[in-house]
Structure 1
Amino acid sequence: MKKLPSALLSMSTVALFIVPVAAAQTTPAPIQLATTTTVTPASLSLSAASRIATLAVNNCAQLGYNVSVTVVDRSGVTLAVARAENAGPHTLGASAGKAFTSASARALTSDIAKNLPSNPGLADIPGYLVLAGGAPIRVDGAVVGAVGVGGAPSGLIDEKCGTDAVATVLGK
């Protein structure tokens, strides 16, 4: 049997110790999850969303405008849609776009529109419609959804129909 040079012997000995340690480290230790690992954010109920949508259509109808209203949850997913019988077909997409934009940005779409000249890229975000008429719905300071209204001759009128409906339904 041939004797190994001492340098190789040392490397072999070291390798024997490294392999078991590396193998032991490949098995992950159980993860201890803190109670703050997940969250349960508040979201708007279907019942409230339906009432807001219907009331916003009625608010605009009292002013003589045929609109469509979309109410979304905090993530921008549609919960309720209401449309006046004589609202134009484009008003559905407009109300949905405004609601999605407001929920996503957590802001009035009229404010987003005012800031568009200094940040024109906002108009390029997929799904965004940067026109007045969308408003976040807040409960205890947290955005739980948004309302978008389309069809009145002014986005600010759309916005008022929606925010008045939210105030009525939430008792503000």
Structure 2
Amino acid sequence: MSRLTVRLLALLATLAALPAAGQVRQQPDLTLQTASRLVAGALDACRRQDRAIVAAVLDRGGNLLALQRADTVGPHNIEASRRKAYTALSTRTATLTLARAAAANPDARNLAALPELLLLGGGVPVAAAGQVVGAIGVAGGGGAVNDHACAVAAIRAMPELDQPATD
């Protein structure tokens, strides 16, 4: 065998021993800039309906990335918005859908007993490239349907995100 052939075979053996690219998960992440745009979008969507809200955005690990509160919203809504986002993130389901399902299914009602979950509309998972990258939670908008609508409007205003299903 020539020296070149030996080197080529050695290179091929080395490459074959390397981990395949598929073994390392590639996943999009929610950035601070995107999170800030989401909370601003939710506040703006509700403001156009004369509703004042709090909006919270969590990353895929449940960490708070952004939070904004309109001046007139009660402080209890801060925690409600975070918990709605957490619930949407951990269940990968909009909290309005989850709350309705729990009300209709006796087996699902126990979800309300879990300390971090909040089964009130206003939490929506945020996805990109088919993967959940975080969640937005909205509270204080005068009801679960209003909170949900403002969260969905914020996501829909960002074409780089996967669009939520129509309700």
Q: Aligned residue for 1:143?
A: 132
Structure 1 letter corresponding to 2:157:
T
Q: Secondary structure at the match of 2:157?
A: helix
Structure 2 residues not aligned, in runs of 5+: 1-17
Q: Are 1:58 and 2:44 an aligned pair?
A: yes
Does the Cα contact within 8 Å between 1:75 and 1:104 map onto a contact in 2?
no
2:91 corresponds to 1:102: no
Name the SS of the counterpart of 1:169 in structure 2. coil
**How many correspondences in the alignment?**
141
Measure the CA separation in 2 of the matches of 1:129 and 1:40.
30
Partner in structure 1 of residue 109 of structure 2: 120
Establish whether residue 164 from structure 1 lines up as the match of residue 150 from structure 2. no
TM-score by length of structure 2 reads 0.77
Q: Distance in 1 between matches of 2:113 and 2:19?
A: 39
Which residue number corresponds to residue 74 of structure 1?
Answer: 60
Gaps of 5+ in 1: 1-31
Partner residue, 1:13: none
Q: CA deviation at 1:40?
A: 3.4
The answer on whether the counterparts of 2:28 and 2:129 sit within 8 Å (CA) in structure 1 is no
Which structure would you say has the larger Rg? 1
State the TM-score, normalized to the length of structure 1: 0.75
Query: Equivalences for 1:18-97 in 2 at 5 Å?
Result: 35-97=21-83
Q: Calculate the aligned-residue CA RMSD, in Å.
A: 1.8
AA aligned to 1:61 is R
Runs of 4+ in 1 over 6 A off after TM superposition: none
Report if the CA contact (8 A) 1:136-1:143 is conserved: yes
Give the match's secondary structure for 2:52: coil
Mean Cα displacement is larger for which, 62-71 or 40-49?
Answer: 40-49
Question: 1:164: Cα distance to partner?
Answer: 0.7
Question: What letter is aligned with 2:48?
Answer: Q
